[in-house]
Chains A and B, each alone.
Chain A
């Protein structure tokens, strides 16, 4: 075991860190040298990670262009090497990386778009959970409604930004109208990420709806969530908001219990 361990250790460092190839690698082949072979493995390593990032961040790629994206991906890979055999896990820290990435500082919204795209990526792979059968809810006596704790689909997440990230995201989806105008100073944005019929969707939420949804995602009971929301947003409309959750398959279940 020890011998194999040493061989692989050396080979891994040759590919990732550019160490010289071990003398135990045959130096020449029929039509090329070991250097060529090692180069191919090094390129594959970086290329596969670039492709994984490009798959998870298609909007960022359009915003910065292919060449800049490749340059950025290379720098990201230097700082954040792969930690998982599943390439779909790669790229979780791109937003953090971008906040400190000097060449992209002019694109002030880029890191927030990265947060939104990673949230979409995670939503795409989030577990499928049966949505709530609304008839079950009808069996609950109305006086118990305040104690209801509603369960929110794991694919449903909110992203907050001071930039209009939802509009930016939408303008860069396949088939979107190329002729768009986005005002970066249009005020803060709360984007709701959700999956419906196998497609991830992004829409903007109003503050009152998001405050209420956040309370329920935190496991707070209906009664307490409504009270807290109404205290801050007297115009909050519960019936419309509930309908929206049901229509978008965001509710997966409920329990009666003490709010946590």
Chain B
């Protein structure tokens, strides 16, 4: 297997089932690809495909089901499946969301927000440590797009992530679109968020499109990145610096060239930033 064990500081795409065949046939020029862990947990045909992809591209494993903040013990079967997948794929990066999905005996297959309290911080930090120990590597934790917030939060999400990084050594996957959604929905202060998270802990950016429902921006990943999000991305690049950047597109998935054109826009901004620094 080629040494694709770090993500290059270029633009990548979220690789989803409709594009597997085309990518493997044409081997288009992609910096790297990211896939959702759970699609490969069973092994079988999907894993077989992913291992072929991995021969040509660095792969980032992005989880949607670990439930780092869930109020139940970490799901050992889920964690073991992730470990097994990491052993097989040797990914360049492994990430999860700052959210929960299990409580009261109910599993809610979504990315749910929780109050940012000291109590929650201790809980999540312990679980991030457990995951990192099991995987024997750093986990990147992604900021969430939320549609509501809690009256008894004791800190901002940015402060929570910064402290989580300090306590556990985890990295941060900075989803710029999620931050934008939170700014517009909840009135989160983007500047304060960018300022409070430690730049050297940020290892990756996400960009995506959202939609709007009854006045609320919803993180649907179903369209191109909006101009306002590109603008925020440029601000983030200036303050934090260039990092591997992913275009996520998960529903109404377009033809591969459309996705690649979005990635090219991110690539252009990464290069402009480099030129600026030089």
Contact = CB atoms under 8 A, between A and B. Distances in A.
Given A36-B214, A85-B107, A88-B39, A128 B47 contact: yes
Interface string A4-20: 11011101110110000
Given A85-B67, A85-B109, A4 B48 contact: no
B216 A44 contact: no
Contact of B115 (A4, A9, A15): A4
A181 to B, nearest CB: 31
The B interface is mostly helix, strand or loop, or mixed, namely mixed
Contacts of A1: 71, 119, 122-123
Nearest to B220: A44
Most buried by A among B67, B114, B184, B215: B215
B124 to A, nearest CB: 9
A200 B215 CA distance: 44
A124 interface: yes
Contacts of B104: 8-9, 12-13
A161 interface: no
A249 B3 CA distance: 32
Interface in A81-132: 81-88, 90, 123-128
B261 interface: no
A152 interface: no
A118 to B, nearest CB: 13
A160 B150 CA distance: 53
A85 B49 contact: no
A224 B51 CA distance: 40
A88 B107 CA distance: 13
Contacts of B238: none
Given A4-B117, A8-B114, A24-B151, A30 B49 contact: no
Contact of B102 (A40, A85, A86, A195): A85
Nearest to B124: A4
A37 interface: yes
B42 A125 contact: yes
A46 to B, nearest CB: 10
B44 A125 contact: yes
Interface in A123-172: 123-128, 155
B107 A83 contact: yes
Contacts, number: 165
B148 A85 contact: no
A198 interface: yes
A224 B187 CA distance: 73
Contacts of B151: 23-26
Contacts of A71: none
Q: How large is the interface on B (under 10, 10 to 19, 20 to 34, 35 or more residues)?
A: 35 or more
Interface in B103-144: 103-104, 106-110, 112, 114-115, 117, 119-120, 122-123
A126 B43 contact: yes
A36 B150 contact: no
With a 10 A CB-CB cut-off, give which of B47, B109, B123, B213 has the most chain A CB atoms. B109
Q: Which of B48, B101, B114, B214 has the most CB of A within 10 A?
A: B214
A215 interface: no
A85 B46 contact: no
B112 A124 contact: no
B110 A126 contact: no
Interface string A34-71: 10111111001100110010000000000000000000
Contacts of B44: 123-128, 155, 195
B185 interface: yes
A-B interface, 4 closest residue pairs, ranked by CB to CB distance from nearest: A125-B42, A85-B65, A31-B215, A8-B103
Interface of A: 1, 3-5, 7-9, 11-13, 15-16, 23-26, 29-32, 34, 36-41, 44-45, 48-49, 52, 81-88, 90, 123-128, 155, 195, 198-200
Interface of B: 38-39, 41-49, 65-67, 69-71, 75, 78, 81, 100-104, 106-110, 112, 114-115, 117, 119-120, 122-123, 147-152, 184-187, 213-216, 218
23 contacts: A1-B123, A4-B69, A4-B123, A11-B114, A13-B106, A16-B108, A23-B151, A29-B147, A29-B187, A30-B184, A31-B185, A31-B216, A32-B215, A41-B147, A48-B110, A81-B107, A82-B108, A85-B67, A124-B42, A125-B46, A127-B44, A195-B45, A198-B49
